[in-house]
Structure 1
Amino acid sequence: MLSQVRDLDLQLLRLFISVVENGGFSAAQGELGIGQSTISTQMAKLETRLGFRLCERGKAGFRLTPKGEEVLVATRKLLTAIEVFKGEAQGMADKLLGELRIGLSEGLDGQILERVGSAIRLFRQRNQAVQIEVLSATPAELERRLLHDQLHLAIGYFSGAQLAIEHQLLFSEEQALYCTTGHPLFSRKTLSLADLHDQDGVHHPYRFLQLDEPWQSANSSARSEQVEGSLVFVLSGAHLAYLPTHIAAPWVRAKRLRAVLPEQLGFSVQFHLGSHRGRQPSEAQQAFVQDLFSAFNRQ
């Protein structure tokens, strides 16, 4: 009995099909490129493997037994299925599959979001069937999710203290210190660092870059882990806070916010693409990183 189908069995079954389609052993010699005695030996091996006779051969000519007829039908189905599998397997070999979970730092500039969108468009033009999830969070949360394998990639500014996270530079973002109408500094024509000495600034517990902020408030009664919270504190008129310049821009145009000593106290923040060093990136992840760097004009 044929309990397992091996490569040799497939070869014998293909020989069987050729013999049937050519009408006998003698006629199949030319197509198979082997002698009639070898064909007969191979057919005998197949019948032994199956445990029953497939055909009658002799002076009366070649004809299939009833079981041979059934094996012929089954063999054609098997070989067709193998070809279908080969085609699908080849398609999978050339196709990106799986999922991608991507984290974005909250409050990104619209132009940055457009570039991320361009990267997704480039990726979708590939031969792929990948489920993509995008979420927005604070840098600290993005870093935590990377470390716990809840994200494959994250775009943000990171502490640099986590050696398990690899960082690749993507772009820089400008930050400035702001106050609003009603704040004592807003209407002053000239300002100096001394004017900021006793001002109440917003403390950012999530900000890995806080030590890089040129102005450090010695008097802070406000805390926020998000850009929107910092903006709310500034708009209260009671606090100063660092904000991304693109977040503050519409409020500045409306004359509701003023940058405080931007030449002295403004600074740049480097945003990186973060990924876990200890995790082997999938083909989909590698392809998306390529498209992301293309969108950001980085090599």
Structure 2
Amino acid sequence: MLGQLHDPDLHLLRLFVTVVEAGGFSAAQGVLGLSQPTISQRMAQLETRLGYRLCSRGKGGFALTEKGVLLLDATRGLLLDIERFRQQANGVAGQLLGTVRVGMAENQDKAVNLRLAAAIAAFRRRAEAVQLELISAPPAELERLLLEQRLDYAISYFSGNQAAFDYQPLFEEQQRLYCGNGHVLFGVTAVARERLLELDQVRHPYRFLKGGEPFQSRRSMAVAEQIESVLTFVLSGRHIGYLPRHYAQTWEDEGLLWALDPGLDFVVPFTLARHRAQGVGEAQQAFAQDLLAAFA
């Protein structure tokens, strides 16, 4: 029996409503961004907290028990009341209130940072008293924070396979293949593709999920998720690797990096992502509007 409601209880209740609306555990996987065993485990936690079964999930398919039907109605009413309270609190005296949490991929181009700064400036001209939080992290970490609903938005390149997310395009980033000073190809202007295939290339586990790069060598003895780590491997003179052109330019100008075949360049799309199941308050909506306008 639930004596008092706590945040974990609300998370479980929201999961319960999502499972019912999706039509079962399997169908809810894409919406929640969770595996079926995880969903089943959390539903069991909720049933333990309540002290009764909510649904049957046997050969006959997914079905609510009578108590499950009653809890579904009560939960929907509770979540609606919470949303109304949040909206009323955020709209006090015509002000935007609360906190907006935005995650962003690291090492952005100067132009990108300037546009983000312009969005913040536009937002601050509104009638608001909002705490803005900017968090820099690798794409995989940003996806995890979004799935856990610990961010309102994230700006990065994503795998695009999370059905739980909405994506809006923002800008593109050009990637180029480099080697470092001391590498056998440093200073070489024309390299046969077959020779490149035999070189040791830094593998980026997140980026390579879709295999979207135009070139991947047959050998990789270096793995790095963050741009700085890829750069370090390349600067060693023993590995080749892709880097954002804007990021590599300074090192290239200093004679420490050498750009390989430009025909192997590729473009990474950056998007503004949010979790579909996460409530969007007035402050979050306003900041998203200013952000999209800045990148338009």
If the TM-score is normalised by the length of the shorter chain, which range does it land in?
0.5 to 0.7
Q: CA–CA distance in 1 between the matches of 2:184 and 2:204?
A: 22
| Deviation readout 1:90-128 (Å, 9 max, x if unpaired) | 982411000011000111112101111110110000000
| Deviation readout 1:174-211 (Å, 9 max, x if unpaired) | 00000011100112232121220210000111225661
Q: CA–CA distance in 1 between the matches of 2:214 and 2:261?
A: 11
1:280 match: 279
- Partners of 2:202 and 2:223 within 8 A in 1: yes
1:14 match: none
Superposed displacement of residue 258, structure 1? 1.3
Amino acid at match of 1:271: F
1:204 match: 204
Q: CA–CA distance in 2 between the matches of 1:269 and 1:180?
A: 22
| TM-score (norm: length of structure 2) | 0.68
Q: CA–CA distance in 1 between the matches of 2:112 and 2:90?
A: 37
1:266 match: 265
1:123 match: 123
Percent of pairs with identical residues: 50
| Deviation readout 1:263-292 (Å, 9 max, x if unpaired) | x20010000000011122110010001100
Q: CA–CA distance in 2 between the matches of 1:277 and 1:206?
A: 22
- Partners of 1:138 and 1:206 within 8 A in 2: no
Q: CA–CA distance in 2 between the matches of 1:104 and 1:115?
A: 13
**Structure 1 residues 296 and 124: CA distance shift in structure 2, 3 A:** same
- State the 4+ residue runs in structure 1 displaced beyond 3 angstroms: none
Please provide the CA RMSD for this pair: 1.6
Q: CA–CA distance in 2 between the matches of 1:90 and 1:276?
A: 20
- What are structure 1's unaligned runs of at least 5 residues? 1-88
**Structure 1 residues 254 and 280: CA distance shift in structure 2, 3 A:** same
**Structure 1 residues 284 and 186: CA distance shift in structure 2, 3 A:** same
Q: Is 1:145 matched up with 2:145?
A: yes
- Residue range with higher mean Cα deviation, 188-197 or 285-294: 188-197
**Structure 1 residues 115 and 208: CA distance shift in structure 2, 3 A:** farther
Flag the structure with larger Rg: 1
1:176 match: 176
**Structure 1 residues 209 and 156: CA distance shift in structure 2, 3 A:** farther
Give the 3-state SS of the residue equivalent to 1:175 in structure 2: strand
Give the 3-state SS of the residue equivalent to 2:207 in structure 1: coil
**Structure 1 residues 285 and 148: CA distance shift in structure 2, 3 A:** same
Q: CA–CA distance in 1 between the matches of 2:91 and 2:116?
A: 28
- Partners of 1:157 and 1:208 within 8 A in 2: no
Amino acid at match of 1:274: A
Q: CA–CA distance in 2 between the matches of 1:251 and 1:154?
A: 28
1:166 match: 166
Superposed displacement of residue 170, structure 1? 0.2
Q: CA–CA distance in 2 between the matches of 1:130 and 1:114?
A: 21
Q: CA–CA distance in 2 between the matches of 1:208 and 1:222?
A: 13
| Deviation readout 1:133-175 (Å, 9 max, x if unpaired) | 1010011110110010110000001111110010000000000
